[in-house]
Structure 1
Amino acid sequence: MDEAVSAAAQAAARAGLVADGARALRVGENGVVVLPAAGALARVIPDESQFDHVRHELVVAKWLFSHDVPVVLPLVPAPVLVGGFVVSFWEFLANGGSADLVTLAGCLRRLHAIPTPPTSLLTRLDPFARFEKRVAAATMLDDADSVFLTELRDRLAEQWRRANFDLGEAVIHGDAHMDNLLQTRDGRAAFVDLETVAIGPPEWDLTLTALYHECGWFSASEYANFVDAYGYDVRTSAAWPVLRGIRMVRMTTWLAQSAENSFERETQLRHRLATLRDGTAPAGWTGF
């Protein structure tokens, strides 16, 4: 956490932003640091090989904004490299909080309706992105766990290749959930974490909300309102089983890489692996 704040402060100085009062909001795969004096949010990625990817994300944000998609805007046109960290600066929505599901559904409809750009701007969705990296980083996975997850991934990849989608192709967010759509008290909504924006089936963006409902994180009425606002229930898709399966694998490998030295995370990881093996997933899955 201290490393993320230090990297953000150094990068801010190079970019001409004031770093007074910098503090970490969260640290996961990437760090998120707020610089209140500059009205900026810094995303700190501990992998300098991601520099070009982050620079592309800034370009995509501007392109989405030009098509009236509600997004958070870059404050600095290019990322800053500091000691192996890639730091990008975005506007900080000081009074922003997670949007409700109806707002999420409406913003996804707007996103999915814009014209798809050339593949030179957006690549196609890779539903298994980071799988190998996450498994390799997950010290709490033993060999049997890694083999199980890899074989499950391979089966799902074959099903994905054969899947048919009702909604065609569109520009998708790639990681669409309430925490990745901020809403301010004056009603502005803005998608954040745009690194996963791609071309793919809109069903991919609807799957997390449906799966979170299965986990018990949303009530039946909350999910019904989401479906009504979007106009489609992804659980009616013939591709739902593979969409659901891939998302559960991603949720498990994401947790696995951060389960070391956390009893609660390790316990939940063991539960997720057990329920994936016996077919009862996502019963008993909790969030972090």
Structure 2
Amino acid sequence: MTARQALELTAKQAGFDSTDAELIRAGENTLFRLVDGVVARVGRPGQEAAANKEVQVSRWLSTAGIAVVEAMLEITQPIVVDGVPVTFWRELPLHREGSVDQVADVLRQLHALQPPPYLDLSPLAPFVRLDERIAEASVFSDADRQWLHEHLHRLQQRYAELPAGLPRGAVHGDAWGGNIVATAGGPVVLDLERFAYGPPEWDLVSIAVDHFTFGSLSDAEWAEFCHRYGYDVTDWAGYTVLRDARELRKVTFAAQMAAQYPHLRKQAQYRLACIRGERGSRPWNWEPVP
């Protein structure tokens, strides 16, 4: 079943008009813009629990005073068809990527919260679906995939021995300026799929990777982020563990997208060469993958 077919079936059930639905983005999830300010989010098969969590997290953050993308309250969500979960949201006003100070401020506020008892956040799972992504990475050779599986296993062992750090709590799971966006009314949190309970350093390392790996944040922006949040995650003994895990996720995501968009094959292969130590030291100036 295609994402559009899932949308058409569930929109009809929810009472929304999916005629001429506009594709916004295709990635881990597929987003469509409907009429009357409604956005549909079509998940991957088997991700009903994650979709349900997104709806619950949205409602919790809203009551906690954090501006967040709003799930449509008029219907019971998610709606599942053939294992594909679909959720419906209020469209955001005009927005752009959040600045480093906005991202830092929101993360500091978020990390100070403790999730309510009714919201049973799963422990952070930095390696979720990586085995599957590696196995399905046709852009890589058999030898490359074997190396990636071994690299993943080593990282899992290192993560099991992660040193103590900041107090554990709610984490966004995929924090960056594209998921904490700037609107005229202030920053808004998006993409709640990876919300979990775990080390807040995971969110901070996401921003560090933008600077040290992608080279997309300047030295001044990174310094401003650390100042606004009040902590430099690179000073923590566990930093390289989470950094390497983040980078592995970025490599496998590029491989996943390259299966749909062949022009991304070169970027996926370049990223792999980097984490294998074949392209010198960071920053590696990775290009964004849609």
TM over 0.5: yes
Whether 2:185 is the aligned partner of 1:187: answer yes
What per-residue deviation string (whole Å, max 9, x for no partner) do you get for residues 177-209 of structure 1? Answer: 11111222x223221111111111111001111
- Residue of structure 1 equivalent to 2:104: 105
Task: State the partner residue of 2:57.
Answer: 60
Alignment partner, residue 114 of structure 1 = 113
Give 1:96's aligned amino acid.
H
Distance in 2 separating the partners of 1:117 and 1:249: 32
Q: Supply the distance in 2 between the matched residues of 1:147 and 1:106 (Cα, whole angstroms).
A: 40
Equivalent positions of 1:83-232 (< 5 A) are: 83-118=82-117, 121-184=120-183, 186-214=184-212, 215-232=214-231
CA distance in 2 between partners of 1:183 and 1:195 (Å): 20
- Aligned CA RMSD, in angstroms, stands at 2.0
When the two structures are aligned, how many residues end up with a matched partner?
Answer: 284
**Whole-Å separation in 2 of the counterparts to 1:126 and 1:237:** 20
Name the CA shift for 1:169/1:157 in 2 (closer, same or farther; >3 Å). same
CA distance in 2, matches of 1:263, 1:57: 31
Question: Quick one: distance in 1 between partners of 2:142 and 2:266?
Answer: 18
**Worse-matched range after superposition: 77-86 or 220-229:** 77-86
- Deviates most, 254-263 or 242-251: 254-263
Match of 1:43 among 41, 47, 51: 41
Match of 2:10 in 1: 11
SS in 2 for 1:65: helix
Once superposed, which parts of structure 1, at least 4 consecutive aligned residues long, lie more than 6 Å away? none
For 2:122 and 2:83, the matched residues in 1 are separated by: 26
Q: Is the 8 Å Cα contact of residues 61 and 194 (structure 1) preserved in structure 2?
A: yes
**Residue 238 of structure 1: CA displacement?**
0.8
Bigger helix share = 1
Note if contact 1:213-1:223 (Cα within 8 Å) is conserved in structure 2. Answer: yes
Q: Structure 2 unaligned segments of length 5 or more: list them.
A: none
When normalised by structure 2's length, the TM-score is 0.91
Compute the displacement of 1:159 (Å).
Answer: 1.2
How far residue 97 of structure 1 moved from its aligned partner, in angstroms, is 2.2
237-246 vs 271-280, greater mean Cα deviation: 271-280
Would the alpha carbon gap of residues 206 and 31 (structure 1) be closer, same or farther in structure 2, given more than 3 Å must change?
same
Q: 1:272, 1:282 within 8 Å by CA — same for their partners in 2?
A: no
Distance 1:259 1:190 in 2: 30
Distance 1:261 1:128 in 2: 22
C-alpha separation between the residues in 2 aligned to 1:73 and 1:284?
34
SS in 1 for 2:121: coil
User: Matches of 2:187 and 2:288 in 1, distance apart?
Assistant: 23
Given that residues 29 and 44 in structure 2 are in contact (C-alpha distance below 8 angstroms), is that contact kept between their aligned partners in structure 1? yes
Equivalent-residue separation in structure 2 for 1:29 and 1:136 (angstroms): 17
Secondary structure of residue in 2 paired with 1:81: strand
Contact 1:165 1:203 in 2 (8 A): no
Unpaired runs of 5+ residues, structure 1, are none
Contact 1:5 1:23 in 2 (8 A): no
* d(CA) in 1 for partners of 2:84, 2:154: 35
After TM superposition, the structure 1 = structure 2 runs for residues 223-262 of structure 1, keeping only pairs within 5 Å, are 223-260=222-259, 262=261
SS of 1:196's equivalent in the other structure is coil
Asked whether the equivalents of residues 137 and 256 of structure 2 are also in contact (C-alpha less than 8 Å), the reply is yes
